Amino acid sequence: MRIVHLVLAPRLSGAEVLAKDLAIHQQKGGETVAVASLTPAHDDFKTLEAELVANGVQCLFPERMYGRVGKLWNLYRTMRRYRADVLFAHATIPAFYARTLPLAVPVVYVMHSATNDFERSLFRRVERLLSRRARAVIAVSPNNIDDYVGAVGRHPAMTLIPNGVDMSRFGMRTRTQTPDGAQIVQIGRYTSVKNQLSTVHAFRQVVDKVPDARLLLCGVIEDPAYHAAVGDLVEKLGLAERVSLQGPRTDVAELLFASSVFAMPSRSEGHSIAFLEALASGVPVVASTIRPFSFAADFAGVHLCDPDDTKAYADALLLALSEPRSHRPLGGLTLADTAARYLAVAREVTGPVPRTAPA
């Protein structure tokens, strides 16, 4: 089967990393797979692009930025040349473009968004128009289903497939390195929904109790103003020597194994791959009390709290710093589980189109 995973922009973010992992897994399983995009690859994706190529996955990325019509034309030519049997469109905007084109290839819309895309009236109208052009809709979290049904209505082929973690890379292992002091790490895009500001506020209180503690923040700078605000707060609180603000990192597994605590105070999430990676690594986790994290509430070494309550957040971080790493049950949440379910959807949508029963 010839499979294409379409993303908006190849970058170090959840949907794009999942598309990369699925593509490699499916290619190794005997399928012919490509990853395509609407815009050129970000510089931070070069290492992952090399990984795709090394595993036989074709990268179909434009070399320059196009406008809306140019994106459509470039995607049309790409799909005509590749002759895919199925196209997985990861996230709402790629799904809009894929379903606008006069292509026979079945399109599967994969909903990744941490927020409700359909709060925007334009997106609601476009999705209502294009909804049945998707042969299937995959939601990575129950919130995605609720958002879609509430705004558009139920799609006849909607299914929930949680994201999965690559256990060969992130599965718990003996730590081979010990950080200098107690390192807390938060990995995620610099944007208000990821809530790095709350982590910095709580870390100020942590340092009062653990003077050698350090905080590492890293991720794509999606909102430069928010990134600047985080930096300003670090300076204001006198934490410049304790807090490191970095861009996206490709060595996430090593960061988790070198850290003492993983923090994720998100205000909303789809089904966070970073959260799954942290769970798999065994590192103590402090995260917000949002629905997508609730499945891990009773896992060893996982603490869910309200990050807007600075004292409660700081207390949870301090407790986590004193805890060992823990094995967690992740059956059904591995990359192998997720890839198998995507392949089942691909086989279903590439079969004959079911006829509507007569009234």
Q: Which residues contact 164 (CB under 8 A, 6 or more apart)?
A: 21, 276, 333, 334, 335, 336, 337, 338, 339
- Cα(183)–Cα(196) distance, integer angstroms: 15
pLDDT-derived band at 43, boundaries 50, 70, 90: very high
- Cα(28)–Cα(216) distance, integer angstroms: 34
What pLDDT, in 10s, does the model give residues 330-352? 989 999 999 999 999 999 999 86
pLDDT-derived band at 150, boundaries 50, 70, 90: very high
What pLDDT, in 10s, does the model give residues 216-273? 999 999 999 999 999 999 999 999 999 999 999 989 999 999 999 999 999 999 888 8
Q: Which residues contact 211 (CB under 8 A, 6 or more apart)?
A: none
Residue 315 has pLDDT above 80, yes or no: yes
pLDDT value of position 12: 87
Residue 355 has pLDDT above 60, yes or no: no
Least reliable range by pLDDT among 27-31, 195-199, 269-273, 323-327 = 269-273
Percent share of the chain, pLDDT over 90: 87
Residue 276 has pLDDT above 70, yes or no: yes
pLDDT value of position 353: 52
pLDDT value of position 352: 66
pLDDT value of position 307: 97
Packing angle, helices 142-151 and 121-130, rounded to 10: 90
State the virtual CA torsion across 109, 330, 190, 205 in degrees, nearest 10: 160
In terms of Cβ atoms closer than 10 Å to its own Cβ (0-12, 13-18, 19+), residue 279 is buried
In this prediction the pTM is 0.86
Query: For the domain bounded by 2-164+334-349, which CATH number is listed?
Result: 3.40.50.2000
pLDDT-derived band at 14, boundaries 50, 70, 90: confident
Reading phi first (left if > 0) and then psi (alpha if -120 to 50, else beta), residue 181 is in left
Q: Could you tell me how many helices (H) and strands (E) the chain has, helices first?
A: 13, 13
Whether the CB-CB separation of 303 and 262 falls below 8 Å is answered with no
Alpha-carbon 277 to chain mean position: 11
What mean pLDDT is predicted for residues 122-143?
96
Residue 187 has pLDDT above 60, yes or no: yes
- Cα(94)–Cα(109) distance, integer angstroms: 8
Packing angle, helices 273-281 and 14-28, rounded to 10: 70
What pLDDT, in 10s, does the model give residues 54-69? 999 999 999 999 999 9
- Cα(259)–Cα(257) distance, integer angstroms: 6
Whether the CB-CB separation of 283 and 317 falls below 8 Å is answered with no
| CATH of 168-321 among 3.30.70.270, 3.40.50.2000, 3.50.50.60, 3.40.190.10 | 3.40.50.2000
- H helices present in 14-108, as ranges: 14-28, 46-54, 68-82, 92-100
- H helices present in 41-189, as ranges: 46-54, 68-82, 92-100, 121-130, 142-151, 167-170
- Cα(338)–Cα(17) distance, integer angstroms: 13
What single letter denotes the amino acid at residue 258?
A: A
pLDDT value of position 247: 93
Q: Which residues of 175-186 are buried (b: 16+ CB within 10 A; e: fewer)?
A: beeebeebbbbb
Residue 180 has pLDDT above 60, yes or no: no
Sign of CA pseudo-dihedral 143, 147, 150, 153: negative
pLDDT value of position 172: 75
pLDDT-derived band at 181, boundaries 50, 70, 90: low
Residue 176 has pLDDT above 80, yes or no: no
Residue 53 has pLDDT above 50, yes or no: yes
In the chain, residues under CATH classification 3.40.50.2000 are 2-164+334-349, 168-321
